[in-house]
Structure 1
Amino acid sequence: MGKEKPSKLEQQLCFEVYKASSNFAKLYAKTLEPYQLTFPQYLVLLALWEEDHLQSKDIGNRLELGIGTLNPIINRMMERGWLEKKQSMEDKRASIISLTEKAKNAEKEIELSIIKKITSCNILDVNAITLMSQLKELNAFLSKMEE
């Protein structure tokens, strides 16, 4: 028997990107579960591990998340002891978000858990550098189209 023709849906790049995003989120969610972190919360940690003591708006800009989406994430992380919030000295209307000692101490362990999970799934067999480059080009192109 001949191979079935792919459906219109299966021929769409946007559908494959959507599925990949969803599958990555699920993979990370399982890996982050022992830390009681969600994938978006992990992304906030990544931003702060790179540069601690940021305003909410700066975190939002880095993650391309609106404040309405970001604030509940930050609040939940504060409740669970990952983040602290203090009023900015420079701008009394702004808050500075900082890592707690718990978050600083967990960075290496979480990073190793994720590397272990990705390696065990053989994701690294894919040329990750080429894929990342192509996805960045695609996202830059799509962002320009929105303007």
Structure 2
Amino acid sequence: MTSSNALPEFPLELDQQLCFALYSTSLAMTKAYKPLLEKLGLTYPQYLAMLVLWESDDLTVKEIAARLSLDSATMTPLLKRLEAQGYVERVRGVEDERQVHIRLTDAGAALKQAARAIPSEIYCASGSDIDAMLRLRNDLVRLRASLGEYIDD
């Protein structure tokens, strides 16, 4: 990184902060998802967990947590609620009983079909074109990776 003298001075105004733009957009995104997910009986974090399981079933709690950048302790109550709803089952590992595997039930697998329209609805709500949305997503993925490297240093 260059010396701090070479960096531009950024204003300390709320609306000029990248962090606030990301934070407030994340809140708006979650609010946009809420009525769509209520029809499925899911919260936004539950939806994210289901997305992970629809990609690759029979994962450990630790694997799901890592994929969502959460800790296992945060995942456990969320997954217990999904189990109570009949969408997943929690199974202790055979070789290591400390590991809990999460598997989709038939109802959980079927829920994927009911959720198929959600990304399109969010895209429409964005008022943006598909290329702009894909560029934004790719830019955010790069930003997340860069920040991850910064944090790990």
With normalisation by structure 1, the TM-score equals 0.89
Is the aligned partner of 1:89 residue 2:80?
no
Structure 2 distance, partners of 1:31, 1:23, is: 14
CA distance in 2, matches of 1:123, 1:135: 18
Whether contact under 8 Å (2:40, 2:114) holds in the other structure is no
Q: CA separation in 2, counterparts of 1:56 and 1:100?
A: 16
Kindly state the Cα deviation for residue 125 of structure 1 after the two structures are TM-superposed.
2.2
> What value does the CA root-mean-square deviation take over the aligned residues?
1.7
Residue 49 in 1 paired to residue 28 in 2? no
Contact 1:118 1:124 (C-alpha < 8 Å) held by counterparts: no
Structure 1 residue ranges (4+ consecutive) displaced by more than 4 angstroms after TM superposition: none
Q: Which runs of 5+ in 2 are unaligned?
A: 1-10
Residue 28 (1) aligns with residue 30 (2):
no
Paired residue secondary structure (1:85): strand
Q: Are 1:100 and 2:143 matched, yes or no?
A: no
Q: Shift of residue 80 of structure 1?
A: 0.9
- Post-superposition Cα deviations, 1:7-60, rounded to whole Å, max 9, x if no partner, equal 810001110000111111111121100111000000000000000000000000
- Listed as ranges, the gaps of 5+ residues in structure 1 are 1-5
Partner in structure 1 of residue 18 of structure 2: 13
Task: Report how many residues are paired.
Answer: 141
Identity, % of aligned positions: 35
